[in-house]
């Protein structure tokens, strides 16, 4: 196997933020979608405050109304006010809509990238979000909303990583094409000057998201490395991503599923049969999510 000494980790936080700003991932006013999502993630946020926040962002306002009027919610009359839309959707679904807006802006689905098919990254993100949420509902129901958001956004750091170190990502793509199935962190340490987990963790910090989401972003490939207080969420995202890959939602950098993390399963107290049940339903769930949150 072709092997090189580890690359120097020479990219710092400010470089990540500059690259993210150049891509439109950070920056913007106080009513940008990430800032709104940060507010939505506060445990004590009220429905009236949510409506007021979303009303400041026209594109997000329109998206919330579109989702609330989708056939999935079966409303007989058109929903035309934001207050009513928030009631129909519920706070958890509104958080998901805001996360989908961030996903849209960061990973433009209509553009091609020479290294990574961004449409497949979006598909994998949807699968991870759905699987992580379903897994949370088994034994960690209070984390279901956070698991969905963390799963949906866990790979946003890839675009920033490609901006900062295109040759490093290209080297990893080349290794994957040669059937190198080593863990992603190993390949990044060997070939890249910055990891995608580091990039998304810095972005989440800049967005002022909760510490649990930041930890899940930073350690979704190795959830046992996350602080114990946030290890549940990191484990949910890790297993959700594995289930998504196993269900066929793969992409260039993750062309095949890794083995299920026994440590993450033991930490969450879940068994293979429970994961298998989620995996069976996952393709249909992903199709539904795409129709509700992204298509149209």
The per-residue pLDDT for 78 is 85
Q: Supply the mean pLDDT for the chain.
A: 86
The whole-model pTM stands at 0.86
- What is the average per-residue pLDDT within 177-189? 94
The per-residue pLDDT for 89 is 80
Closest CA to 238 of 156, 131, 141: 131
pLDDT-derived band at 32 (thresholds 50, 70, 90) equals low
Domain range list for the chain: 1-23+112-291, 31-106
The per-residue pLDDT for 29 is 61
The least confident of 11-15, 54-58, 139-143, 167-171 is: 54-58
- What is the average per-residue pLDDT within 286-290? 85
- The answer for residues whose C-beta is within 8 angstroms of residue 262's C-beta and 6 or more apart is none
Can you name the residues that pair with 254 across neighbouring β-strands? 251
pLDDT digits (tens, 9 = 90+) for 203-226: 999 888 889 999 999 999 999 999
Closest CA to 293 of 61, 60, 67: 67
Q: What SS3 class is residue 182?
A: coil
Euclidean distance between CA atoms 28 and 34, whole angstroms: 9
Q: Provide the CATH topology of domain 1-23+112-291.
A: Hypothetical protein af1432 (1.10.3210)
Euclidean distance between CA atoms 53 and 38, whole angstroms: 11
Q: How far is CA 106 from CA 7, 200, 206, 234, in A?
A: 26, 11, 15, 22
Residue 194 has pLDDT above 60, yes or no: yes
The per-residue pLDDT for 109 is 53
- What is the average per-residue pLDDT within 115-122? 86
pLDDT digits (tens, 9 = 90+) for 258-283: 999 999 999 999 999 999 999 999 99
- 3-state DSSP: the chain helix, strand, coil percent, rounded to 5? 65, 0, 30
The per-residue pLDDT for 296 is 53
Residue 105 has pLDDT above 80, yes or no: no
- What is the average per-residue pLDDT within 44-58? 78
pLDDT-derived band at 256 (thresholds 50, 70, 90) equals very high
pLDDT digits (tens, 9 = 90+) for 135-179: 999 999 999 988 988 998 899 899 899 999 999 999 999 999 999
Four-point Cα dihedral 78, 81, 82, 85, nearest 10: -30
The per-residue pLDDT for 231 is 97
The least confident of 170-179, 238-247, 282-291 is: 282-291
CB atoms within 10 A of CB 70: 17
Q: What SS3 class is residue 227?
A: coil
- What is the average per-residue pLDDT within 234-243? 97
The per-residue pLDDT for 111 is 56
The per-residue pLDDT for 130 is 93
């Amino acid at each position: 196997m072709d092997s090189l000494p580890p690359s120097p980790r020479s990219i710092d936080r400010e470089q990540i933020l500059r690259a993210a700003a150049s891509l439109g991932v950070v920056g913007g006013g106080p009513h940008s979608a990430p800032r709104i999502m940060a507010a939505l993630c506060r445990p004590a946020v009220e429905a009236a405050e949510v409506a007021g926040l979303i009303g400041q962002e026209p594109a997000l306002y329109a998206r919330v109304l579109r989702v609330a009027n989708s056939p999935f919610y079966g409303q007989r009359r058109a929903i035309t006010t934001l207050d009513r839309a928030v009631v129909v959707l519920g706070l958890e679904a509104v958080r998901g809509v805001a996360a989908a807006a961030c996903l849209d802006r960061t990973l433009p689905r209509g553009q091609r990238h020479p290294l990574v098919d961004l449409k497949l990254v979006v598909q994998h993100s949807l699968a991870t979000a759905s699987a992580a949420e379903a897994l949370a509902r088994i034994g960690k129901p209070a984390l279901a909303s956070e698991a969905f958001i963390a799963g949906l956004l866990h790979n946003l750091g890839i675009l920033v990583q490609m901006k900062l170190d295109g040759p490093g990502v290209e080297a990893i793509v080349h290794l994957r094409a040669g059937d190198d199935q080593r863990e992603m962190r190993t390949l990044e340490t060997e070939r890249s000057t910055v990891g995608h987990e580091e990039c998304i963790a810095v972005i989440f910090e800049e967005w002022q998201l909760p510490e649990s989401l930041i930890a899940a972003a930073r350690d979704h490939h190795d959830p046992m490395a996350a602080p114990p207080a946030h290890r549940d969420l990191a484990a949910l995202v890790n297993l959700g991503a594995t289930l998504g890959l196993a269900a066929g939602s793969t992409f260039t950098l993750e062309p095949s599923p890794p083995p299920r993390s026994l440590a993450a399963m033991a930490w969450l107290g879940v068994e293979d049969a429970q994961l298998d049940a989620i995996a069976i339903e996952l393709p249909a769930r992903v199709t539904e999510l795409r129709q509700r949150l992204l298509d149209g």
